[in-house]
Structures are given as structure tokens and as C-alpha cells.
Amino acid sequence: MKELVIKSTIREAQLDELTEQERTLIQKAIEATDRSYAPYSHFHVGAAISLQNGELFMGCNQENAAFPAGICAERSAIFAAGAKYPDQPVTMLAIAARNPQGELQEEPVSPCGPCRQVLIETETRFHQPVRILLYGQKHIYVVDSIKQLMPLSFTEF
């Protein structure tokens, strides 16, 4: 049996180390947490994406008593952007979350499996990586492609 070692590169940054565009996107993700509908989990997630044409879209999680009829913040933002600008690549995604007490998470949160798969599809569709900013009050993780979070991914066959 052969052992494979798969490495990911994730950088840790402070807000003041990011570009103005990155800080703006994180602020939009934080703002989107206030629009979340999470009466069951009480975990409010916001996402913001930028498109290649400069347009920004926000998304937030929307829960439903009939699980899994809700949608995550990341997918709501990506699908809203795709509905308006189907030919525009996503260049960057920021994610922020609030805990049940309404406080921003101390540590960054990462996308769930289905959201990671949608991001893989987005990168594959447009043949370019999506820069991901995972916000936490203590620090921000900066990821250059979803492939760093999901190196063994399912793509078109």
C-alpha cells in the first residue's frame, strides 16, 4: 500500500493585512449575517462574492423546518449572482458567521461539503480559482482556491 500526502496551503491574516477590496467583501459578509434566517440552528452565516465584472452579491443561510429545504449563505450568493450574470466568473468569496448569542465567531468558519462542491463546480466552469476569505475575529484564513479545502474533488466525468 502506498501512502499519499496531500497538503493544503492556507494563510492566516489580520484584517489590516488585506486589500481594501478584501476588507469590503468581508464587511459585506458580516452584514449578511444580520439577514440570515436561522431559527433552528441559531447559527447565522453570511457570504459575499465578487464577480469579475466588479459586481458584489451577498447571501445568507435560510433554514426551513423541512430539512434540507434551506440553503447555505455561500450557495445563495453564488446562485443569485449566476441568475443575474450567468457568464461572469466568481473571483472572491468571503464568509462570516455569528454564534447563537449573536456574536461574530472568534475562529473562521469554512464552507460545508455541498458548498465546497458548488465552489468546485464554479472554478471548473470558469477555469479559474475563487479566492476564499474565512473571517474570524481572531484572524482570517485566506485560501487561493477551493481545491485547498477539498483537494480530492468530484468534477465532470
Q: Which residues are known to be catalytic?
A: 74
HEC string of the chain equals CCCCCCCCCCEEECHHHCCHHHHHHHHHHHHHHCCCECCCCCCEEEEEEEECCCCEEEEECECCCCCCCCECHHHHHHHHHHHHCCCCCEEEEEEEEECCCCCECCCCCCCCHHHHHHHHHHHHHHCCCCEEEEECCCCEEEECCHHHCCCCCCCCC
